[in-house]
């Protein structure tokens, strides 16, 4: 009778019953273990994917930032060099205008030179080369004939077309300067 009463009251605490063969409170059934492993693997895979995407985003952002910085540096350096060239060309033009505005150059360049006048003009041109940092200076007649020049100056006669083109450019520059000064 005691046995029957026990059987009717249900299983004892901590005792295994034949119906719980799939698992107990402490042990999971095999299907639940397999599913939790799949979930853990999926979460691990998502974590790895998130890290990879984060690294790719950081790399792409850093690369774009570096490219933009390099372009800005290049533009800045280019503008600086461009300005330096402009300043140097302006200095050379100012020195050349100063030299051609000197009375002795104008006086000697407009006529046939005797050997003494040629030496004097050559000496003045040599002084100008040293003072202004020119490579060489040569004075040509409107016909393209060399009047005087420094030691490194080109000794060949220029064509009259080149001399006339230089004279035309000088007139154009003077015309533009007059317009700017009048404004």
- Kindly report the backbone phi and psi dihedral angles of residue 89, in degrees, each rounded to the nearest multiple of 5, phi listed first: -65, -40
Model confidence at 181, pLDDT cuts 50, 70, 90, reads very low
* Residue 32 covered by a domain: no
Say if 164 falls within a structural domain. yes
Q: Is residue 125 situated within a structural domain?
A: yes
For residues 169 and 121, membership in a common domain is answered with yes
The answer to whether position 69 is within a domain reads yes
My answer on whether 96 and 121 are in the same domain is: no
Tell me, what's the pLDDT at 106? 66
Query: For residue 8, what are its two tokens?
Result: 């009717």
Domain presence at residue 46: no
Whether 128 and 151 map to the same domain: the answer is yes
Among 101, 133, 166, identify where a domain stops.
101
Reading the block at residue 109, the tokens are 């360049």
Across 66-70, 73-77, 101-105, least confident range: 101-105
Q: Domain boundary at 101, 134, 166, which?
A: 101
Tell me if 113 sits within 8 A of 147, measured CB to CB: yes
Q: How confident is the model at residue 180 (pLDDT cuts 50, 70, 90)?
A: very low
Residue 146 dihedral angles phi and psi, to the nearest 5°: -70, 120
Query: What pLDDT score was predicted for residue 174?
Result: 57
d(CA 165, CA 172): 10
% the chain with pLDDT above 70: 66
- Do 152 and 130 belong to one domain? yes
For residues 114 and 147, the answer to whether their CB atoms sit within 8 Å is: no
**Which region among 55-59, 135-139, 163-167 has the lowest average model confidence (pLDDT)?**
163-167
Q: What gap in Å lies between CA 119 and CA 26, rounded to an integer?
A: 116
Same domain, 70 and 123: no
| CA separation for the pair 57, 134 (Å, rounded) | 55
CA–CA–CA angle 118, 121, 126 (5° rounding): 120
> At residue 41, does pLDDT exceed 80?
yes
Please check whether residues 144 and 172 belong to one and the same domain: yes
Same structural domain for residues 81 and 134?
no
Find the helix packing angle between 30-101 and 115-132, rounded to 10°.
150
* More confident of the two residues 76 and 3: 76
Domain residue limits at 156: 112-182
Identify whether residues 71 and 128 lie together within a single domain. Answer: no
Q: Tell me how far apart the alpha carbons of residues 135 and 157 are, in angstroms, rounded to a whole number.
A: 18
Q: Per DSSP, what are the bridge partners of residue 140?
A: 146
Is the pLDDT reported for residue 166 higher than 80?
no
Q: How many domains does the chain have?
A: 2
Task: Give the pLDDT band of residue 10 (cuts 50, 70, 90).
Answer: low
Q: Are residues 116 and 174 in the same domain?
A: yes
Sequence-distant (6+) residues with CB within 8 A of 30 are 22, 23
Q: Within this chain, do residues 127 and 165 fall inside the same structural domain, yes or no?
A: yes
pLDDT band at residue 77 under the 50/70/90 scheme: very high
pLDDT tens digits for range 87-125: 988 888 888 788 777 777 767 666 677 888 888 888 888
Q: Which two tokens stand for residue 83?
A: 């300005």
pTM above 0.95, yes or no: no
């Amino acid at each position: 009778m005691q046995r029957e009463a026990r059987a009717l009251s249900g299983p004892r605490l901590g005792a295994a019953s034949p119906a719980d063969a799939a698992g107990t409170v402490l042990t999971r059934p095999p299907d639940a273990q397999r599913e939790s492993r799949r979930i853990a693997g999926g979460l691990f895979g998502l974590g790895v994917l998130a890290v990879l995407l984060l690294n790719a985003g950081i790399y792409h952002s850093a690369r774009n930032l570096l490219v933009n910085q390099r372009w800005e540096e290049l533009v800045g350096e280019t503008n600086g060099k461009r300005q330096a060239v402009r300043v140097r060309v302006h200095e050379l033009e100012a020195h050349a205008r100063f030299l051609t505005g000197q009375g002795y150059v104008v006086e000697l360049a407009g006529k046939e030179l005797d050997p003494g006048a040629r030496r004097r003009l050559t000496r003045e041109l040599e002084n100008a080369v040293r003072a202004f940092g020119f490579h060489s200076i040569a004075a040509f007649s409107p016909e393209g004939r060399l009047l005087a020049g420094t030691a490194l100056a080109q000794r060949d006669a220029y064509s009259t077309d080149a001399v006339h083109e230089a004279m035309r450019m000088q007139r154009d520059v003077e015309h533009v300067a007059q317009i700017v000064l009048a404004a």
